[in-house]
Structure 1
Amino acid sequence: MRKWFAVSLLLLSINAQAALWSITYPRPIDDKDLRTEYPLALLTLALEKTGVKYSLLPSERIMLQGKALRQLRENREVNVVWSMTDSQREKDLLPIRIPLAKGLIGWRVFLINDMNEARFSKEMSKNDLLKLVPISGEEWPDTKILQANGFNVFTVPSYGNAAEVLETHKADFFPRSVMEVLNELNADTMPSDIMLEKNVAMYYPTALYFFVNKGNTTLARLIETGLKMAIEDGSFDALFMSTYEDALKQLDLSNRNTIVLDNTLLPEQTPLQDSSLWYKASLDNQDNP
């Protein structure tokens, strides 16, 4: 691996070290959105590892995920986006196949209306869960994954619409990544009758990647080099644990009934065999018929 770093850094130094890299990412709806903090911290860590000169700034206008991915594909406004992968995104864009959050994006727990708490239990099976209606975004890969597993999905234009759907009982649960659910639950905008379900988890293999435009291979190599350097020296895992360790303890995945779903959208190149890239949570207590 050290030889790989040496060769990569040599190649980068030819045309990257002396340049100022202007890197633009999608501006979130709220500049205090905690979901952007970890990817930005990891991107900053990777760039610092390479030693290049860079500026890292949000786009001039707010950009939701679907728009950001389209602009990246057209090489406009942004030149890096982090997003959950699927086969189509890897056709349209250039993925850097290092899971940013070690696969946590595929570990899901549920936000529910507190009136529906009794409908979920540690004894429920996948078939039981299929009788309930999940919420997912219209352009999210999760929607296709849920549908492919047999769920009747209630789709929403954006995350902000989901709480109202739960409140009005148009759907039964909102699967949220363990990366984000506690911050969302504690947000001032979350209605008081929305709660975290305590017994069940859902898992499907997937990854959150950095993506760049297909023509921007030098930037991709730059980011990949920095990420691999951070993995080797332990700073990647240190940042991951400092960000998510407390949440993982609170959510206690090993004591939940984990319902495992297939992900037919997962590209074949996903590095599932490299255990160093993935969070290891127990799947002993699982329902996978």
Structure 2
Amino acid sequence: MALYRFKSKAIRRSLRLLTALSAIALTVPAQAASWSIHYPRPINESDSRHEYPLTLLKLALSKTGVRYTLKPSERILLQGKSIRQLKENREINILWVMTDSQREKELLPIRIPIHKGLIGWRVFLINQDFAHKFTDINEIGDFSSLTVLQGAEWPDTKILQSNGFNVLTVSDFPEAFNRLELKQGDFFPRAVSEVMGELEARSISPDIVLEPSLVLHYPAAMYFFVNRSNPIMARLIETGLRRALEDGSFDNIFVTHHRKALLKVNVGERKVFTLENPLLPKETPLDDKALWFDPQRHVPESSVNAELTKD
């Protein structure tokens, strides 16, 4: 009996020690950890769409003081595959994509739109031989005779279809450009935040040009997403992004990266067609003006910085 009591006391002491050690571990600041962060490898090294999200992610992490390594996945991961791999916690532990209700169920969103909503302002890449098709468009119904190119697994496809557009889906990004070059689609809507980098890519055909007078708009947000089992990383990145918003460094990067596109595209001078987004989750922080930019305002070159940093 004495031996049993001794063992019981020893077990209780061990349990108390483990509990104490666990409590200490939980209080260790995030700065003591070293985070290994893997994101989807782009299609090729000249794919400039990764530059801005990676710059913003590095900024957010720097605001928290954590040690980290940031590496692309071993293989190229297209958007649909990236989402599935992140959901299953394989190969990558972060990605950035446009949000919708299904993605927010499967993954954990960090609800700060990294492009301030510019992802939902869509200008058109077209084959220059089709330019005449866009000169007499005055209302949504005028698009009914045109074919839109979009990725099969992109939220934009469902948004456009729900608004009555005839959408031809493609398997990946390069295929959309190939079909545009071959005149197998009339236009490829691209976000203001993306289009200039794509137009300047060396691989693009000179026949593909920017349509000069029209723009589609629907409320949309591109977020960083992590696996749902990784709320600590989500909180870490959100904390860094909010600190960057507060000290102005988020807007500085936003202005630096998008300035050329905003001036070149000049959305304020275009005819705007507003669409509904039935996929937008109800949790989207549309009322937080600090998170969004309205590119419909006319922004002269001399005052881009002042206008973008208002509110």
TM-score (norm 1): 0.91
SS for the counterpart of 2:31 is coil
Matched, 1:108 2:122: yes
Residue 24 (structure 1) aligns with: 38
TM-superposed deviation, 1:132: 1.2
1:276 aligns with 2:297: no
Q: What is the CA–CA distance in structure 2 between the aligned matches of 1:224 and 1:125, rounded to whole Å?
A: 39
* 1:98 alignment partner, one of 109, 112, 118: 112
1:183 positional shift? 1.7
Partner amino acid, structure 2, of 1:244: H
Kindly indicate whether the alpha-carbon contact (under 8 Å) linking 1:122 and 1:200 is maintained by their aligned counterparts in 2: no
Higher helix share: 2
**Shift in Å, 1:115:** 1.3
The secondary structure found in structure 1 opposite 2:45 is: coil
The corresponding residue for 2:7 is none
Return the alpha-carbon distance in structure 1 between the equivalents of residues 100 and 37 of structure 2: 24
Asked if residue 56 in structure 1 is aligned to residue 45 in structure 2, the reply is no
Question: More deviation in 43-52 or 160-169?
Answer: 160-169
Per-residue CA shift, 1:44-95, capped at 9, x if unaligned?
Answer: 0000000111111111111111111110000011000000000000000000
Could you tell me which of 151, 158, 162 is aligned with 1:144? 158
Comparing both chains, which one has the higher relative contact order based on Cα–Cα distances under 8 Å and sequence gaps of 6 or more?
A: 1
- The aligned runs of 1:57-96 (5 Å cut-off) are 57-96=71-110
Contact 2:46 2:201 in 1 (8 A): no
| Structure 2: distance between partners of 1:123 and 1:156 | 25
Residue in structure 2 matched with residue 195 of structure 1 by the alignment? 209
Q: Secondary structure at the match of 1:102?
A: coil
Provide the C-alpha distance between the structure 1 equivalents of 2:26 and 2:58, rounded to a whole number of angstroms: 17
| Structure 1 moving runs of 4+ over 4 Å | none
Deviates more, 1:266-275 or 1:60-69: 60-69
Are 1:186 and 2:200 matched, yes or no? yes
- Structure 2 residue corresponding to 1:251, chosen from 260, 265, 288: 265
User: 1:197-276 alignment to 2 at 5 Å?
Assistant: 197-276=211-290
The one-letter amino acid paired with 1:158 is: D
> What's the offset of the Cα at 1:122?
7.0
3-state SS of paired residue (1:180): helix
Distance 2:222 2:256 in 1: 18
Which protein has the larger Cα radius of gyration, Structure 1 or Structure 2? 2
Q: How many residues align?
A: 274
How far 1:30 sits from its partner (Å)? 1.4
- SS of structure 2 residue aligned to 1:17: helix
Matched, 1:39 2:53: yes
Q: Return the letter of the residue paired with 1:258.
A: V
Distance 1:77 1:129 in 2: 41
Percent identical residues: 55
**Aligned equivalent of 2:4:** none
